Amino acid sequence: NIGNVENKGLELEWSGQLPHNFNYYTSYTYTQSKQKNDIVSNGGQPLPTSGKEVPNVPKNLLNMTLGYDDGLYYGSVSGKYVSAFYGDLTNDEKIGGRTVFDLAAG
């Protein structure tokens, strides 16, 4: 349990059909998540967490997919971006962002 947290954010999503049996999907999420107070550790010592970002919560997530489906063949290429985020309560350990691509066909 990390105490009180304040979350603010935005989610957007678009999808649709394109000419020649193509389609697309895109989503974006922005999250601002802050810890509201210091946490007392098991040993009774306070951890300086007030105002720090909640760990393992990236600020930005972006997903994009371009697909094709004519009823006989289908395929898609997708990309996902996750921005950097902190991996600990005191924001000392920053984990770098990443982008991953996927291909599918059939």
What would the pLDDT profile of 64-77 be if each residue is shown by its tens digit? 999 999 999 999 99
Contact 94, 70 (CB under 8 A): no
Please report the beta strands in the chain, taking only residues with DSSP state E, as ranges in sequence order: 5-18, 22-35, 39-40, 46-47, 60-69, 74-82, 85-86, 94-95, 98-105
- Global pTM value: 0.86
How much is the pLDDT for 1? 64
List the structure tokens of 84: 């950097």
Question: How far, in Å, CA of 48 to CA of 30, rounded?
Answer: 25
